[in-house]
Amino acid sequence: MPTPMIPFSSRVVASPDVLFRELDGESVLLNLDTEAYLGLNEMGTRIWIAVVAAPSIQAAFETLLGEYAVAPDVLHHDIETLVGQLLEHGLVELTDA
């Protein structure tokens, strides 16, 4: 199933009941209310940290593009896919930037 288009002008906000734990570059996110969880590898963890800290997904994209030698369309797809999964699991919400 294709990932729906995520507006990169939006801001990603962790849902209020989400617990984030990082260990050795990998992490787990757990929604304490729904018990939904998602494990992230090193790159997924870095994207998580970038998108929740940035004023918009676009700003996180630009930051990550400067940090990694990756094609812009690949990074865009990876961010869109991860944010879609986070939304699907109730781990984040999108707000206006």
| Phi and psi angles of residue 12, each rounded to the nearest 5 degrees, phi first | -95, 125
Instruction: Look at the block and give the residue holding tokens 């986070």.
Output: 86
| Phi and psi angles of residue 79, each rounded to the nearest 5 degrees, phi first | -65, -45
Residue 30 lies in a domain: yes
Residue 21 lies in a domain: yes
Number of domains comprising the chain: 1
CATH of the domain at 26: 3.90.930
Residue 45 lies in a domain: yes
| pLDDT at 14 > cutoff 80 | yes
Q: Containing domain of residue 69, as a range?
A: 11-90
Residue 29 lies in a domain: yes
DSSP three-state, residue 90: coil
Whether the Cβ atoms of residue 93 and residue 15 lie closer than 8 Å to each other:
yes
pLDDT per residue over 45-56, tens digit each? 999 999 999 999
Residue 3 lies in a domain: no
Query: What is the mean predicted confidence (pLDDT) over 25-34?
Result: 93
Residue 80 lies in a domain: yes
